[in-house]
C-alpha cells in the first residue's frame, strides 16, 4: 500500500530535492531526498573534549586520550563545562539549517531535532542532578517577529520528544533573553565578536536555574562567542554548570575524524525523520 501511495504522490505532486535536484519519490513534507539526508553524518572522533573543536593532529592535545583538549581550552577554561555538536556546519547540514531559518520549511526542525538529540546523548554520563534546565539561545524581539519562530527553541522541542524519556529535562524558553540587538557576527574577528555580543543577554527568571545544571542549546556553534556569553550570564545568575549542545559547529579542519555511517541502520536513523 505504501508503494502505491508513493507512486500516486510522485504522479500528482512531482517535486525535486532542494539540494541535489533529484526527483522525490517518497511521501514527505521535507523537500530533501534520502541520499542527501544520509550524507549528513555525525562527528565521531578527533575533537576537543571540552569545546568540540577539531584537533589538528592526534598528538596536538593535552590531557588523557579519552579527554583530549585543544590549545585554546588548555590556555583558558571556557565558561561552559562541555560543548557537543552533531555534525560539521557544511554541505547538506548547513543547507538544511538554512532551509528552516531562512525559508521557513518547518518540517526540517524534526530532522534537526533528531540530530540535536544525538548530540545531547553524549552528555548523558555528565549529569549529576535528576533535573536539567534546558535553555535555548534567544532571538532579539524584532528578529523573532520577522522570522516568526526561534529556530533553536523549535529544534530543541523536537529533540526533547526523543531525549526526554526519563523526564530529566525541563524546557525554560523564558529564562534567557536577548536584551539588545547585535550586528551580524559574520566577518568579525574573535575580539570584535566578543565586543559585539557583550551585554546582549540577561537572565529574566534566575530562580528557575539557581543551583541547577543547565543545557544551553543553539542551532550552530561558530566560534563559541555567543554560547560563551550566554554561559557566563547563566552562571552569574546561579547555574551550577552549563553544558552546550548544538546541531552543527564550524570546524577548522574539514575531513579528518568524520566517520561515515557503518550500517544501514545508522543511515536510516537520519532519513526516518523526514518520513
pLDDT at 258: 36
In the block, cell 548530540 appears at 119
Interval 109-130: pLDDT, tens: 999 999 999 999 999 999 999 9
Cβ neighbours of residue 23 closer than 8 Å, sequence gap 6 or more:
10, 14, 15, 16, 17
CA distance linking residue 91 with residue 138, whole number of Å: 25
Distance CA 226, CA 178 (A): 11
> Which residues on adjacent β-strands are paired with residue 136?
217
DSSP 54-72: BPSSTTS-BS-TTS-B-HH
For 23-55, how does the pLDDT look when each residue is reduced to its tens digit (9 = 90+)?
Answer: 887 767 899 999 999 999 999 888 999 999 998
Instruction: State pTM to two decimals.
Output: 0.84
212-227 pLDDT, tens digit per residue, is 999 999 999 998 999 9
Task: Please determine, for residue 260, whether its predicted confidence score (pLDDT) is greater than 60.
Answer: no
pLDDT digits (tens, 9 = 90+) for 175-217: 999 998 887 776 777 778 888 888 999 999 999 999 999 999 9
Mean pLDDT of the chain: 85
The three three-digit cell numbers of residue 97, written as one number: 539549517
Return the beta strands (E) in 138-261 as ranges.
169-171, 176-178, 201-203, 213-221, 241-249
Position 6 pLDDT exceeds 80: no
Residue 47, C-alpha cell as written in the block: 575533537
| The Cα angle at residue 76 between residues 122 and 206, in degrees rounded to 5 | 65
- Residue 264 pairs in a beta bridge with none
pLDDT of residue 273: 46
Please report the sign of the dihedral spanned by the C-alpha atoms of residue 186, residue 192, residue 196, residue 197.
Answer: positive
Q: What CATH number is given for 29-47+78-274 in this structure?
A: 3.40.50
Cell numbers that stand for 73 in this block: 581550552
Q: What is the pLDDT of residue 26?
A: 72
Mean pLDDT lowest among 21-30, 43-52, 61-70, 82-91: 61-70
DSSP readout, 247-268? EEE--SSSSTT-PPP-SHHHHH
Residue ranges per structural domain of the chain? 29-47+78-274
Amino acid at each position: 500500500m505504501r508503494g502505491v501511495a508513493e507512486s500516486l504522490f510522485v504522479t500528482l505532486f512531482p517535486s525535486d530535492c532542494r539540494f541535489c535536484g533529484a526527483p522525490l519519490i517518497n511521501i514527505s513534507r521535507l523537500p530533501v531526498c534520502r541520499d542527501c539526508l544520509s550524507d549528513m553524518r555525525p562527528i565521531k572522533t578527533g575533537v576537543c573534549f571540552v569545546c568540540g573543536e577539531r584537533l589538528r593532529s592526534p598528538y596536538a592535545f593535552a590531557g588523557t586520550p579519552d579527554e583530549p583538549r585543544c590549545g585554546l581550552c588548555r590556555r583558558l577554561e571556557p565558561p561552559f563545562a562541555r560543548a557537543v555538536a552533531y555534525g560539521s556546519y557544511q554541505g547538506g547540514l548547513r543547507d538544511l539549517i538554512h532551509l528552516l531559518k531562512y525559508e521557513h520549511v518547518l518540517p526540517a526542525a524534526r530532522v534537526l531535532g533528531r540530530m540535536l538529540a544525538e548530540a545531547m546523548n553524549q552528555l548523558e554520563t555528565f549529569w549529576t542532578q535528576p533535573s536539567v534546565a534546558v535553555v535555548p539561545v534567544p532571538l532579539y524581539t524584532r528578529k523573532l517577529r520577522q522570522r516568526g519562530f526561534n529556530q533553536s527553541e523549535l529544534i530543541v522541542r523536537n529533540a526533547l520528544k526523543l531525549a526526554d524519556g526519563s523526564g530529566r529535562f525541563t524546557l525554560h524558553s523564558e529564562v534567557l533573553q536577548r536584551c539588545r540587538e547585535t550586528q551580524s557576527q559574520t566577518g568579525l574577528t574573535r575580539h570584535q565578536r566578543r565586543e559585539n555580543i557583550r551585554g546582549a543577554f540577561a537572565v529574566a527568571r534566575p530562580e528557575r536555574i539557581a543551583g541547577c545544571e543547565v543545557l544551553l542549546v543553539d542551532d550552530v556553534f561558530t566560534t563559541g562567542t555567543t554560547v560563551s556569553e550566554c554561559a557566563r550570564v547563566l552562571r552569574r545568575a546561579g547555574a551550577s554548570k552549563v553544558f552546550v549542545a548544538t546541531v552543527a559547529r564550524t570546524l577548522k579542519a574539514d575531513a579528518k575524524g568524520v566517520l561515515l555511517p557503518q550500517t544501514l541502520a545508522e543511515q536510516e536513523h537520519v532519513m526516518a525523520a523526514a518520513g
